[in-house]
Structure 1
Amino acid sequence: MAEFNPWKKEQFDTDVLDDRLCHLILWNDDVNTFDWVIESLIEICAHTPEQAEQCALLIHYQGKYAVKKGDFDTLRPMCEAMIDRGINSTIDN
């Protein structure tokens, strides 16, 4: 097993990239159906049907859920597409 070296450049680069990751958050509402949210997660976020269904349930019971992780520039069009479909979405880091 490799020994951890905090001064090693590869480790530093990985740590910096992790700090830039954001989350696409979907919020529960009383308007959108499970089917619509699931379909949107599959089409916009490239979720499998199983992932999308699990996310929809978590959104429903928890009030919100981080459905996707990535950099802001990747998540922004996904967030906008969800909003265009009437699904409350935000990006958080």
Structure 2
Amino acid sequence: MSQKEQIQEDVVLEEQISKEHEIIVYNDEVNTFDHVIETLIQACDHDPIQAEQCTILIHYKGKCAVKSGTYKDLKPRCSKILDEGINAEIV
């Protein structure tokens, strides 16, 4: 394998490893707007306006991508959201 081929292979591998994922939060009939907003501020480092906008989208659209990043970064954030009784997953 040439050096150029090795570099290309390394780049492809790095892209696969650092692929962006998203936390999707789903609407439910249990959690209040305030609870979801506070959770997004704490778990996703949202500012209050961003958290409120995401919460409105969750309510009216049924779901919203609230944070994107690497799986390693998103996993503990998603766990915090789930621990608060809010339906979420990483995709």
Please tell me the TM-score bracket, short chain as reference: 0.7 to 0.9
1:51-90 mapped onto 2 (5 Å cutoff): 51-90=50-89
Tell me the distance in 2 between the aligned counterparts of 1:79 and 1:46. 12
Tell me the distance in 2 between the aligned counterparts of 1:30 and 1:87. 10
Give 1:69 shift: 0.4
What TM-score do the two structures reach when normalised by structure 2? 0.81
Tell me the distance in 1 between the aligned counterparts of 2:61 and 2:67. 16
Structure 2 unaligned segments of length 5 or more: list them: 1-7
* Corresponding residue SS for 2:30: coil
Tell me the distance in 2 between the aligned counterparts of 1:16 and 1:76. 19
Supply the RMSD in Å over aligned alpha carbons: 2.1
Deviations 1:2-31 (A, max 9, x none): xxxxxxx8xx68x927x7000000000000
Q: Post-superposition, which runs of at least 4 consecutive aligned residues in structure 1 deviate over 2 A?
A: none
* Corresponding residue SS for 1:42: helix
Tell me the distance in 1 between the aligned counterparts of 2:77 and 2:42. 10
* Corresponding residue SS for 1:39: helix
Q: Which residue of 2 aligns with 1:39?
A: 38
* Corresponding residue SS for 1:41: helix
Q: In percent, how many aligned pairs have the same letter?
A: 49
The structure with the greater share of residues assigned to helix is 2
Aligned residues: 82
